[in-house]
Amino acid sequence: MTGNSRFAVSVHILAYLAYRQGAAVPSAEIAASVDTNPVVIRRLLAALVKTRLVSAQKGASGGFSLATTAENISLRDIYRAVEPEPSHGLSHFSPNTKCPVGAKIQSILHPIFVKAQAGMEAELARVSLAEVHRQLRPVCPGKK
């Protein structure tokens, strides 16, 4: 598992916690579901705990659980918790300010990037963790 999968893995983690219905789930169990190292999971969970989406219980028989209901958590909340501030490549982009184009291009692009980012997050905001959870346990036709 290489490349930036922080968000995808984080949604997986929270979906797993929802699936386990409030139990204190150790990082090793989540790591088995994601198929990665427990430390990777704990690092992402640290961000999710900091933003109060998840609560952590140290010590024996400890573990992680959702800090609120799955309805109250949107994918945008998760995205913002674990993704770094989007730079869109504007940091480390230092055009020649002696050129009329280079002097202005950054200030022109910045608000455009902010809107593009907002457009993406608006779509994520429409999906709750509960919706993801629901799709995990689909209605089983014919079964009551």
Beta bridge partners of 79: none
When CB distances are held under 5 to 8 angstroms depending on the partner's kind, the choice from DNA, its own copies, none that residue 108 binds is its own copies
Number of residues written out for the chain: 144
Q: How far apart are CA 70 and CA 86, in angstroms?
A: 26
Question: Taking CA 87 as the corner, what is the angle to CA 86 and CA 88, rounded to the nearest 5 degrees?
Answer: 95
Report the nearest approach of DNA to the CB of residue 37 (Å).
4
| Closer Cβ to its own copies, 24 or 121, answer by number | 121
**Cβ closer to DNA: 26 or 79?**
26
Q: Applying CB under 8 A, does 73 fall inside the site for its own copies?
A: no
Rounded-to-integer distance, Cα 16 and Cα 25, Å: 9
User: Long-range contacts: 1-7, Cβ < 8 Å, 24+?
Assistant: 1/35, 1/36, 6/44, 6/82, 6/83, 7/78, 7/79, 7/82, 7/83
Per-residue binder mask for its own copies (CB under 8 A), 92-131, x = binder: xxxxx--xxxx-xx--xx--x--xxxxxxxxxx--x----
Among 53, 88, 92, smallest CA distance to 70 is for 53
Q: Among the candidate windows 15-23, 41-49, 51-59, 60-68, which touches its own copies by CB under 8 A?
A: 15-23
Residues forming the site for DNA (CB under 7 A) = 1-6, 9, 25-28, 36-40, 42-43, 45-46, 49, 56-64, 84, 89
Which residues form the interface with its own copies (CB under 8 A)?
A: 1-9, 11-12, 15-16, 19, 32-35, 75, 87-96, 99-102, 104-105, 108-109, 112, 115-124, 127, 132, 135-136
